[in-house]
Amino acid sequence: MYVGADYYPEHWNRERWPIDAGLMKKAGFNVVRLAEFAWVNMEPQEGSYDFELFDEALSVLHANGISAIMCTPTAVMPAWLASKYPEALAMKGDGTRHVWGVRKDNCYCCDDYNRLSEAVTRAMAEHFADVPNVIGWQTDNEFGAPTCMCDKCLAQFQAWLKDKYGSLDSLNAAWGTHFWGHRIKEWSEIPFPADSNAHNPSACLDWKRFHSWLVVEFQRDQVKILRRMCPKHFITHNFMGLFSGLDYYDLASDLDFVSWDNYPVWGKPGIRYDASLGADVMRGLKGKNFWIMEQTAGPSGWGTFGRNPRPGEIRSITYQQLAHGSDGQVWFRWRTCTAGREQYWHGLLGHDGEPLRRYREAAQTASELHKLAPHLAGTKVRAEIAIIYDYDSIWSLEIQPGYPENSVVKAIGRYYGALFRSGVAADIVPPGTDLSKYRLVLAPAFHVVPDAVADSLDEYVKSGGILLTDCRFAVKDENNLCHERTLPGKLSDTFGIRIEEYESVDGGAAYHLSYGAEGKEFTVEGYTDWVTAMDAESMGKFYDGHLSSFAPVTRHGVGKGVAWYCGVVVTEEEFYDNLVRDLLREAGIEPVADLPNGVEATMREGEVGRFLFIVNHLDMAASVSLPCQGTELLTDKHVAGEISLAGFGVAVVRVEG
């Protein structure tokens, strides 16, 4: 297993390099990531390359048994590039260009920038292909920004649309330009639909898709070069978890595996739901294990910094990711920089370069990871539940949330939190995935649903699956136009319901309902459908008079399966705990363990065996009653019955039997 840190030899005197490499070695580190911002070091002027600094750093690292992931350095253009080719700097909406001196500020349609990006990639690939301790590549850094609004990008957007739609008639139909007299007669008339609160929502969705496509193409040009010239190396990119600016499935498709940047230390210590969901989203991009390429190593921030990871927290964050399928662990960053915008983004070492508490905790974690590595090789999280995660729906709801504060991630989070609390794993999958291997499929806020996808969900249920969807399901088609059917549209018969009316529930107005045998009362805030249960069973009851004939939740057996619909957004977590409990029972899915608050449990399994990860997210002791017995691999002790964890404590049990 690779464990290490993001390292910037270009920030320190050469005399320091052997000290750093020695400390890394002592900590059990065997990998660093290098050079993602070092374009100017390697190409001090156009066309003349100088790799001497990295050659020497690599040889110092090599002497200490440390491998390296090299990065294409295109996240920061050199000053010479910006001044020689001003059009390389992206244009903002007001027509001015980015001022050089930050990062991620290039136009992806600038021929000179693209030519130079390919050239530096080629030069690096050629130079580092056979360096013994170079093992792989990261493309660029955190792709996403910026969205350029220059004339070249506009022409490219128009050409992309022409390619997609073929004719203006079909573009006009897809965008519904009969509204507000927005009919387009020439491709060149199409503007950037930059105001997502006011421009045509169909055009806005296409612009997001276009930007994503442009970035994926940019990466693809680099990947092609690296594949050809460095066949021995892997290629990855550092994704940003729940970031929604790109279609991450597309960005991942050209890579060997996904890596991601995990910074879960903000505010007071709490349950890291987002880091858990982020990890599952990352695992879902390619349906395989991933790496952490950057992870919180200390207080973080640019102007002000946040809290310090508490004793044990650096370690427990790592185990959470390991439990969700991480196969490589890299902390950001090795040592806190004394210069530049990230002086307060703390590394494992402080400004003083001393190996103190955070270093020691990372070293302990590294040695444990090496101990676990042979056990975990080839193991994966095996989930019986899939959650559909769809960028079209994410984007459509960013453009028009429908009701205030609505988003795909929030909607998924309501159910995901309940799964997390019950100790049940889920895979996050794109629409169109073969769902037949899953016993339960959740499709929260699945908003953009082309007819073919609706048909496949119907088929999934009829052949025995359990499906739950909820508010605003299938309102839109693939063009971001509303379907012309009574909701839930094509799947009305599948769910056995009709939704003739619906509303936001905001501004202090709230409804009340009961759900479950206990008859407990819950609060509806945000949104409600007025669901008429036709053939479906009504699973709860509204207390409010005018809603009393409608069903908050419905359940409908159809074919060999069951389709559930939840038409309310409820404030209390307990409502989702109860609903998810009923779904798990329906699907015959057993939790991995019965868990106290704040403790997470996940199983990794493979041919070598089954491994139960237990992670305490809170700074207080907890005890868990084990569903199995086995060997706790960190202590080499046999465990059965109750096991107690310190605050931020972890356990990895090799399950027997």
The contact set with Zn ion (CB under 5 A) reads 107, 109, 148, 150, 153
The helix/strand/coil state of 571 is: coil
Whole-number Å distance between alpha carbons of 322 and 326: 4
Active site residue 294: yes
Whole-number Å distance between alpha carbons of 367 and 457: 46
Do 453 and 431 touch, CB atoms closer than 8 A? yes
Whole-number Å distance between alpha carbons of 604 and 379: 6
- Closest distance of CB 257 from ligand GAL, Å: 18
CB nearer to ligand GAL: give 342 or 605. Answer: 342
CB nearer to ligand GAL: give 206 or 294. Answer: 294
CB nearer to Zn ion: give 109 or 562. Answer: 109
Residue 435 amino acid letter: L
142: partner contacted, choices ligand GAL, Zn ion, none (Cβ within 5-8 A by kind): ligand GAL
- Does residue 213 interact with ligand GAL by CB under 6 A? no
Do 226 and 234 touch, CB atoms closer than 8 A? no
Residue 183: count of CB within 10 angstroms of its CB: 12
Residue 391 amino acid letter: Y
Active site residue 56: no
Do 161 and 206 touch, CB atoms closer than 8 A? yes
| Residue in 36, 43, 87, 294 annotated catalytic | 294
- Does residue 248 interact with ligand GAL by CB under 6 A? no
- Closest distance of CB 141 from ligand GAL, Å: 5
The helix/strand/coil state of 321 is: helix
Strands 2-6 and 326-331, by their bridges, are parallel
Terminal CA-CA length for the chain: 26
Q: Which of residues 320-379 bind ligand GAL (CB under 6 A)?
A: 332, 342, 345
342: partner contacted, choices Zn ion, ligand GAL, none (Cβ within 5-8 A by kind): ligand GAL
536: partner contacted, choices Zn ion, ligand GAL, none (Cβ within 5-8 A by kind): none
- Pick from 20, 87, 140, 142: which binds ligand GAL (CB under 6 A)? 142
Tokens linked to 439: 């016993």
CB nearer to Zn ion: give 154 or 173. Answer: 154
Q: Where are the beta strands (DSSP E) in 452-588?
A: 466-470, 497-505, 511-515, 520-533, 537-538, 540-542, 553-558, 561-566, 568-570
CB nearer to ligand GAL: give 142 or 458. Answer: 142
Looking at the chain, how many residues does it have?
A: 657
CB nearer to Zn ion: give 153 or 362. Answer: 153
- Closest distance of CB 98 from Zn ion, Å: 10
- Does residue 261 interact with ligand GAL by CB under 6 A? yes
Whole-number Å distance between alpha carbons of 458 and 455: 5
| Residue in 43, 142, 368, 525 annotated catalytic | 142
- Pick from 114, 117, 141, 296: which binds ligand GAL (CB under 6 A)? 141
Do 514 and 522 touch, CB atoms closer than 8 A? yes
396: partner contacted, choices Zn ion, ligand GAL, none (Cβ within 5-8 A by kind): none
148: partner contacted, choices Zn ion, ligand GAL, none (Cβ within 5-8 A by kind): Zn ion
Residues with a catalytic annotation lie at 142, 294
The residues binding ligand GAL (CB under 6 A) are 141-142, 261, 294, 332, 342, 345
